[in-house]
Amino acid sequence: MSEIDYLILQIAGFVIPATLLVIIALGLNLQWGHTGLFNAGVAAFVGVGAYTFAMLTTGRFNDPVSSWSHWGPPTPWDLIPAVGVAMLVSASLGVLIAIPTLRLKADYLAIATLALAEIIRLVIKNERTLTGGDQTINYIPRPFGGFVPPGWASDGVFVLVAAAIAVGALVAMEFLVRLPWGRALRAIREDEESAMAVGKNPFRLKLGSIAIGCAVMGLAGALTASYGGSVHPDSFPPFLTFTAYVVVILGGSGNPRGVVLGGYVFYLFTWTTQQLRVYVQGISDILALRLDFINQMVIGLVLILFILFRPEGIVPEPKYIPKRRR
């Protein structure tokens, strides 16, 4: 492997996971940062998107009883329709769980989504006839996989695809939050009763925020499955939800651009830990094993410091002041 090939692999190893985390956080930022809805099941919606995409692109729906140990993709779906279905399934699941809970206090949505995350994990892990149970779904294709050889070239192409989708998601979020619809979401977040007094429908607006945010999380799940080439029930641990909240808090709740910056800054900690493990392992195996715990301690300390001294994040939410009419 040449130095250029190795450099591309290293860049992809940082950029792709960080970009996927940014997309997840953009969906959460719409729900929590702009609308004030606490979604405790982020990992579940990402997992649903990943499994939906995996089952469609590998032909799992066409042959649900195949042997997983010697099973290949019989009639894979095109990737773009599969991504669309993954987003739709995640959004529909979010709407279904939100309809009976949004009219109650905000705490009920958090409890419901937390319970949903555990239910989905157990269903995925035990429903062998549909998801393969605790076995891994393999052979998940990548974009342009038929034209680009695996290795550094495939990773390089995936960097471009993930970056383009992240930019598209950022532009879409910036557009939405600047619309009257986005301003109404912030009004509900600040004072729901006042928003109702001027004719806004909080239930309908919250439902739209949940649907769009969960669809973006499903998109991130589909990309995660495609990048890894396989999915497993343990691929989406509950810690992913905590990670998404840390990114939003770190970058700036309510500011999509800040969330993007927060995602890359946050993942820099994990990436640095992975690089240090390679060098430390030759010196001390015990220290190499403890690097993950040190990484989590540092992240927790940084989060506490931000909450205490800069709760608005790295890039604060902009104040939208309406222009005066002359």
Q: In 10 A of CB 249, how many CB atoms?
A: 24
Q: Is the pLDDT of residue 144 over 90?
A: no
What is the C-alpha to C-alpha distance for residues 294 and 284, in angstroms, rounded to an integer? 15
Q: What is the pLDDT of residues 235-287, one digit of tens each?
A: 888 889 999 999 999 999 999 999 999 999 999 988 888 778 777 766 666 66
Hey, which of 79-88, 105-114, 292-301 has the most confident mean pLDDT? 79-88
**Overall average pLDDT of the 68-83 stretch:** 62
Q: Provide mean pLDDT across the span 101-118.
A: 82
Could you tell me which residue, 99 or 292, shows the higher pLDDT? 99
CA atoms within 13 Å, Cβ hemisphere of 263: 27
Q: What share of the chain is helix, strand, coil (3-state, %, to 5)?
A: 70, 0, 30
The answer to whether 216 and 227 have CB atoms below 8 angstroms apart is no
The whole-angstrom separation of Cα 21 and Cα 245 is 11
Q: Which of these ranges, 128-142, 153-167, 171-185, has the smallest mean pLDDT?
A: 128-142
At residue 73 the predicted structure's pLDDT band, cuts being 50, 70 and 90, is very low
* Cα maximum dimension of the chain: 72
Can you say how many angstroms the Cα of residue 6 is from the centroid of all Cα atoms in its chain? 27
Rounding to the nearest 10 degrees, give the CA dihedral for residues 297, 300, 301, 304. Answer: -160
Whether residue 192 is predicted with pLDDT greater than 80 in this model: the reply is yes
In this structure, what token pair is assigned to residue 93? 């699941």
User: What region, left, alpha or beta, does residue 199 occupy, with left being phi > 0 and alpha being psi -120 to 50 degrees?
Assistant: left
Which range in 125-134, 176-185, 265-274, 297-306 is most confidently predicted, on average pLDDT?
Answer: 176-185
- pLDDT(69) > 50: no
Instruction: Output the pLDDT for position 240.
Output: 92
Q: Is 304 exposed, middle or buried (0-12, 13-18, 19+ CB in 10 A)?
A: exposed
Q: Compute CA 281 distance to the chain's CA centroid, rounded to the nearest angstrom.
A: 31
Question: 130: closest CA among 198, 204, 203, 56?
Answer: 56
Count helices and strands (H / E) in the chain. 12, 0
| 198 C-beta neighbours (distance < 10 Å), count | 8
DSSP 67: -
CB atoms within 10 A of CB 292: 13
More confident residue, 112 or 29: 29
Q: Which residue has the higher pLDDT, 226 or 233?
A: 226
Strand, helix or coil for residue 137: strand
Q: Is the pTM higher than 0.95?
A: no
Average confidence score pLDDT of the chain: 85
159 within 8 A of 12, measured Cβ to Cβ: yes
Return the pLDDT at 18: 96
**The pLDDT of residue 49 is above 70:** yes
The pLDDT of 25-33, averaged and rounded, is 96
On the question of pLDDT at 130 being above 90, the answer is no
The answer to whether residues 9 and 17 touch, using CB atoms and an 8 Å cutoff, is no
Strand ranges (E), the chain: none
- Of residues 6 and 93, more confidence is placed in 93
Calculate mean pLDDT across residues 11-37.
94
Q: Is 231 helix (H, G, I), strand (E, B) or coil?
A: strand
Q: What is the pLDDT of residue 9?
A: 82
User: Which pLDDT band, with edges at 50, 70 and 90, does 319 fall under?
Assistant: confident
Domain map (residue ranges) of the chain = 3-237
**Range 72-82 average pLDDT:** 67
Length of the chain, in residues? 326
Asked if 52 contacts 222 with a C-beta cutoff of 8 angstroms, the reply is yes
Helix 152-178 to helix 180-190 angle (10° resolution) is: 80
Q: State residue 70's pLDDT score.
A: 38
Kindly state the tokens that stand for 173: 């979020």
Q: Is the model more confident about 260 or about 8?
A: 260
